[in-house]
């Protein structure tokens, strides 16, 4: 079998359509091919392109500096039935129906181990343990989330600001500012324990 590219005398116009021979179109085609190949490599590595990236290395300062969270167009989307299938009834009530656990009852209210708190619904890293503090409110409190990991929405009544997981939209709790806590941001992310999963440093 003779290759189309086997003869040096074959004009390129017989091999490629005119649009491909145009320099700008050829460059665009190359970029698209490279981007598609990159997506395949990333997906093969087990990372969802454009959504959540875990950087599994440890620096000299430990586990905390190796976590990045990004919310992109490829968000975690499930139907209500699909969420019910993967969440416990209480997780579904809080994460998907915006419920609230009773104060002082949550697993992480008085929990101060080193590590990272992720979304109980989709596993997105949300908070570093170094940002957790004791506010005395009865729920886990953090003064900031990981960059791009958390969205804010004003409640319909305008009284509070809801915080949700940027990847899956799961309800986390509410954020309050200007309460006088001596934290770098003067914010309190008041989060339901059941909305979180903890990953220890070691």
Residues annotated as catalytic (active site), given as ranges: 190
Phi-psi bin for 4: left (phi > 0), alpha (psi -120 to 50), beta? alpha
Structure tokens at 173: 């709790």
Closest CA to 93 of 196, 171, 190: 171
Q: Identify the residue whose tokens are 């997506």.
A: 39
Closest CA to 109 of 25, 173, 160, 44: 173
Beta-carbon count within 10 A of 14 CB = 7
Q: What secondary structure letter does DSSP report for 48?
A: B
Burial profile 153-169: b = 16 or more Cβ within 10 angstroms, e = fewer: eeeeeeeeebbbbbbbb
Measure the CA dihedral 37/41/47/50, to 10°. Answer: -20
Rounded CA-CA distance 92/184 in Å is 33
């Amino acid at each position: 079998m003779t290759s189309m590219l086997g003869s040096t005398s074959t004009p390129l116009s017989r091999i490629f359509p005119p649009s491909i021979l145009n320099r700008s179109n050829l460059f665009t085609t190359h970029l698209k091919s490279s981007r598609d190949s990159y997506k395949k490599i990333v997906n093969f590595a087990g990372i969802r392109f454009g959504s959540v990236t875990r950087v599994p290395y440890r620096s000299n300062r430990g586990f905390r500096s190796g976590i990045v969270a990004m919310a992109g167009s490829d968000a975690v989307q499930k139907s209500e039935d699909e969420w019910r299938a993967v969440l416990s009834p209480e997780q579904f009530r809080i994460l998907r129906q915006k419920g609230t656990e009773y104060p002082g009852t949550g697993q992480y209210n008085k929990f101060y181990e080193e590590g990272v708190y992720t979304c109980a619904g989709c596993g997105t890293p949300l908070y570093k343990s170094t940002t957790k503090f004791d506010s005395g409110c009865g729920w886990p409190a953090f003064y900031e989330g990981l960059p791009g990991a958390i969205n804010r929405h004003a409640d319909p009544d305008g009284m509070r600001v809801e915080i949700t997981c940027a990847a899956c939209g799961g309800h986390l709790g509410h954020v309050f500012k200007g309460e006088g806590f001596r934290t770098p941001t003067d914010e309190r992310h008041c989060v339901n324990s059941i909305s979180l999963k903890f990953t220890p440093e070691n």
